[in-house]
Amino acid sequence: MQFASVVDLFCGVGGMAHGFVQEHFNVVAGIDVDESCRYPFERNNGAAFIRRDVARLPGRYLAGLYPPDDITILVGCAPCQPFSRYTVRTTEDDKWKLLRSFARLIKQVRPDIVSMENVPELLDHKVYVEFMQALESEGYFVSSNMVYCPDYGIPQTRERLVLLASRFGEMEIIKPTHRPEEYRTVQDVIRHLEPISAGQVSAQDPLHRARGLRETNMRRIMNTPPGGGWKDWPEELLLECHKKTTGQSYVSVYGRMEWGKPAPTMTTHCGGLGNGRFGHPEQHRAISLREAALFQTFPMNYEFIPPDIRVSNKDLSRHIGNAVPVRLGLIIAKSIKNHLRPHYATKA
Ligand SMILES: C[S@@+](CC[C@H](N)C(=O)[O-])C[C@H]1O[C@@H](n2cnc3c(N)ncnc32)[C@H](O)[C@@H]1O
């Protein structure tokens, strides 16, 4: 039996949606402006990818995507808009305007359940308080949940804000599934993979590809122990910014991961050594796209690359780094399922 129908706003390649698919929800569609997400979203989730700008999406159109008489769920991870170079003054309002579009659609469509995932910093913004108030004024019961991903079996030290709202009553996120001694670590997730070098693509797995390194960066990673970073290098390898006192704050850049700990938060630039603690614990390279996808808890058989079409590393890195970890989608889906169980019991 499939539980309730889901539409995923800002769906990307479908990290969040796939968690709902794994929990047997009926994912009907994902909406996103980035056409390059179509193949992975549709191929892995059996749902339509609709290329539309959420800011211009009419409520009536969204409402029409749900089958009649089903429980309706709207999920989404509204991205913050990068500040524009062409705008003289950009305010917090401009930055989070897609959250307002999300709130408008909720008011127009009145789905039974809403979930929104975002960065924890959003909790302190006026726009978030307004978002919650908009939902409460529509009669939703709203909860804001801070999620530390390792507590839920996600091998990343990512923290996220998960809003859950229901028209049926109070809804909370499920209890943590992993105690600290059970946290999934880098070694649990990637140690079994074939060793590759910087710039190499595995012959067996096209996603297991790591960026090339120039000679100086190769010397840098060779001088970085697991858990270490640029502070371990000899003077001649340091960058100018490291030598300034302000450089002291960038402790993670050029860092190496450790086998026995969860990975850091994946980002769209996680394939680059200089962008964070993205060095492989042992091999002299940054993590491969496959390793990033595994840290994002995508299953090995998730298809990112269409047959016969070349997808750039930049696109793949954006797709994977931007995703909500599949397992976080699954945890949200499980929380909604628990909440809906009494509803289905009375229907049966
Ligand atoms: C953080 S990613 C979402 C990841 C996705 N929810 C997942 O689970 O994998 C944000 C997405 O918002 C999309 N996006 C940005 N502005 C948009 C807009 N105005 N309308 C629709 N999608 C937009 C981006 O293309 C990107 O895929």
User: Relative to the CA of 57, which ligand 1 atom is closest?
Assistant: 20
Cα 320 to its chain centre, rounded Å, is: 8
Q: What is the pTM of this model?
A: 0.94
Pocket test for ligand 1, best of 6, 7, 9, 10 (most atoms within 8 A of CB): 10
Nearest Cα residue to atom 13 of ligand 1: 10
Q: Is the pLDDT of residue 303 over 90?
A: yes
CATH 3.90.120.10 residue ranges in the chain?
186-322
Rounded to an integer, the average pLDDT of 281-308 is 96
* φ and ψ at residue 143, rounded to 5 degrees: -130, 140
- Which residues line the pocket of ligand 1, CB cutoff 6 A? 10-16, 31-34, 37, 53-55, 77, 79, 98, 322-324
For the cut 50, the answer to whether the pLDDT of residue 74 exceeds it is yes
Query: pLDDT at residue 243 above 80?
Result: no
Burial of 250 (C-beta count, 10 Å sphere; 0-12/13-18/19+)? middle
Cα angle, residue 262 at apex, residues 159 and 322 outer, rounded to 5°? 50
Q: What residue's CA is closest to ligand 1, atom 1?
A: 322
Cα distances from 287 to residues 185, 229, 273, 277, 314, in angstroms, run 14, 15, 8, 10, 14
pLDDT band at 82 (very low <50, low <70, confident <90, very high): low
Averaged over 139-162, what is the pLDDT? 97
Active site amino acids: 80
pLDDT at 204 exceeding the cut of 90: yes
At 108 the pLDDT is 98
Query: Using an 8 Å Cβ cutoff, are 329 and 157 in contact?
Result: no
Distance CA 276, CA 250 (A): 8
pLDDT score of 86: 47
Count of all residues that appear for the chain in the document? 348
| Secondary-structure class of domain 186-322 per CATH | alpha beta
**Identity of the residue numbered 18:** H
Q: Pick the residue whose CA is nearest to atom 26 on ligand 1.
A: 12
* CATH 3.40.50.150 location in the chain: 3-182+324-347
Residue pair 81/97 in contact (Cβ under 8 Å)? The answer is: yes
DSSP single-letter state for residue 287: P
Question: Which residues contact residue 151 at a Cβ distance below 8 angstroms, ignoring those fewer than 6 apart?
Answer: 176, 177, 178
What percentage of the chain carries pLDDT values higher than 90? 77
Whole-number Cα distances in Å, 99 to 103, 122, 165, 286, 316: 6, 10, 15, 34, 25
Q: Quick one: CATH architecture of 3-182+324-347? A: 3-Layer(aba) Sandwich (3.40)
